[in-house]
Amino acid sequence: MNKLNALYDLRERIPKFIKKIFPKFLKRKINKKFFKYYFLPTTMIKLPNSNYQEEVNLEYQKNLIKKFSETKKNSFMTCPHLIQLLLMKFNSNDNYSFLDIGGEKIDFYLKLKKNFGNVKYYIFNLKPVVKVFKELKLQFNFNDLHIIDNIEEIFNKNFDFVNFGSCIQYFDNYENVLDKISDNSKFIFFSGTTLYSSSDDNLKKNIIVKQMNALPKINYLYFFNKKKFYEIFTKKGFNLVFEEKNLTDNINYDNFKKYLNNVEYTDFLFTKS
């Protein structure tokens, strides 16, 4: 583990002007051979205060609106079959509330409204994302786009469906958030979340890893012990109704195999019984 971390650290110390000299095909070849892991183990027990930062461009979002108006198709999603999953739970004319935690692309809202005309869409994300969505709401008169500024607002509302789009792993207080949100929600869905099993008592709840696939940005996040994570919901009367491997990315977890079992990038859905 230390040797692997040292190798990645060495790569980050290479001056930018030297990196620019290398042809792209050579960079890809080097990364494929020596830097094939998205995540590296750490010994951290708490996520850093300054961690995941989201950059959102207003013009990019407006372009998504333009493209959707032309094609009626939305851009990349961590769970591309989410609409189909919703159609299994709700009729197209149902009046229900949808909370998108970690939502970052306006065209998903447009796709949701296209399939469910009466849905009440709520979004919560980091402040830069919230700011851009507020501007979009004003410019395009998205009156049924409900933007939540503070997570405490979520705990005072009831939601039919909550979507954690590959984001709960960046919440240091995830247990508190999930404990509260499970009190006022019917369906709770997670996509792109890494789960594992382990017999090591020190790893029985979670581990913190270093994310290296978004360089030059480096983030830290949780991998969750599947049994312990699921117990958060089963103890409160929820049932697991859907679980499958997320196929949007082929993540290499080989560097964790020595002490984690059954590591998998997963989508799963809980419903209150």
Q: Choose the weakest-confidence range: 18-22, 71-75, 103-107.
A: 18-22
Over pLDDT 90: what percentage of the chain? 69
Contacts of 29 (CB under 8 A, 6+ apart): none
> 90-149: per-residue pLDDT in tens?
999 999 999 999 999 999 999 999 999 999 999 999 999 999 999 999 999 998 999 999
> 38-57: per-residue pLDDT in tens?
899 999 999 998 766 667 78
Angle between helices 106-115 and 58-71 in degrees, nearest 10: 30
Residue type, 6: A
Q: What is d(CA 9, CA 20) in angstroms, rounded to the nearest whole number?
A: 18
Residue type, 167: C
Is the link from the previous residue into 216 a cis peptide, with omega within 30 of 0? Answer: yes
What's the CATH fold of domain 37-272?
A: Rossmann fold (3.40.50)
**What does DSSP assign to residue 9?**
H
pTM comes to 0.86
